[in-house]
Amino acid sequence: MNKKTLQSFAAGMILSTAVLTITFYLGDYNKSQAVTKTTVDQYLDKNDLVSLEKEQFDRLTEREEVAKAAEEAKAEEEAEKKAAEEAKAEEEAEKKAAEEAKAEEEAEKKAAEEAKATEVTITIKEGMVPSEVANQLESAGIISSAEKFISYMENNELENYLQLGSHKFTKGMDYDEIAKVLTD
């Protein structure tokens, strides 16, 4: 760029700024509209809005806050009620579990007492034969048939291994358990 071109460009800028300034101040651009109640009402009607005085606005917000507080209080009350119900249900479940445990303990005690009541002691003396032992077990109610028990002992080759002394038996023992007690 040379000096002449630069001067022409600067002169054009100054001239265009002057034209825009004159247009702005002489045209309608500089006139501000006064805000009046009529213009506000027209704006509100046009946009389907409503104006409120500060007092009215404050009352509405206060009502909203009161309604919100009441809603929160109700929700809190419901939560407390639910927690109380859950605690009650838990307490009842614990009570039921304790009752069940007590009933189970009593049943175990009863079973232990019954086992003691059905416990029979048989003494094997020197010279006794397996048939005599089987007859004692049958008469005590430990086995149902002396003959079947003797057959079991012979089939398992245990009749010669009977141990002398006192042996404890309970009703309901099977032949294998009885034979183990007699031969150990």
Residue 63's pLDDT is 92
Q: For position 32, what pLDDT does the model report?
A: 65
Would you say the pTM of this structure is higher than 0.75? Answer: no
CATH topology of domain 118-183: Dna Ligase; domain 1 (3.30.1490)
CB 152 within 8 A of CB 137: no
Q: Give me the pLDDT at residue 100, please.
A: 92
- Where b means 16+ CB within 10 Å and e means fewer, 24-56 reads eeeeeeeeeeeeeeeeeeeeeeeeeeeeeeeee
Per-residue pLDDT of the chain (184 residues; tens, 9 = 90+): 799 999 999 999 999 999 998 888 887 665 666 788 888 888 889 999 988 889 999 999 999 999 999 999 999 999 999 999 999 999 999 999 999 999 998 888 887 666 665 788 888 888 888 889 899 888 888 888 889 999 999 999 888 888 999 999 888 889 999 899 888 8
Radius of gyration of the chain (CA): 55
Residue 2 CB-half CA count within 13 A: 1
Segments making up each domain of the chain, as ranges: 39-116, 118-183
